[in-house]
Amino acid sequence: MLFFKCCTICDGDLLLEVDNIGANLTCLRCNYTAAVPANTHLFNVLCDDANRTNSAQAA
């Protein structure tokens, strides 16, 4: 998922990446990376989506 012009450093576009460890936002322009805290609603929604996708691929 992309968030356009949301980087706090350079106003670049942020790419949201979710894996088994957690979620990260990475700027495509300056490469700034920030972890999405596990106690946020966004993290819970993203992990649920990732788990559903992984389960569907395994079936």
Cβ atoms of 28 and 9 within 8 Å: the answer is no
* Residue 15 pLDDT level (bands cut at 50, 70, 90): very high
Residue 10 pLDDT > 90, yes or no? yes
b/e map of 12-35 (b: 16 or more CB within 10 Å)? bebeeebeeeebebbbeeeeeeee
Residue 33 lies in a domain: yes
Is residue 19, in this structure, part of any structural domain at all?
yes
Residue 8, SS3 per DSSP: coil
Could you tell me the residue range of the domain that residue 42 belongs to? 2-53
* Whole-structure pTM value: 0.62
39 in any annotated domain: yes
Tell me, yes or no, whether 58 lies in a domain: no
Closest CA to 23 of 52, 2, 44: 44
Give residue 53's pLDDT: 44
Amino acid identity of residue 2, one-letter, is L
Alpha helix segments (H runs only) across the chain: 41-58
Output the pLDDT for position 55: 41
Q: For the chain, give the mean pLDDT.
A: 75
Number of independent structural domains in the chain: 1
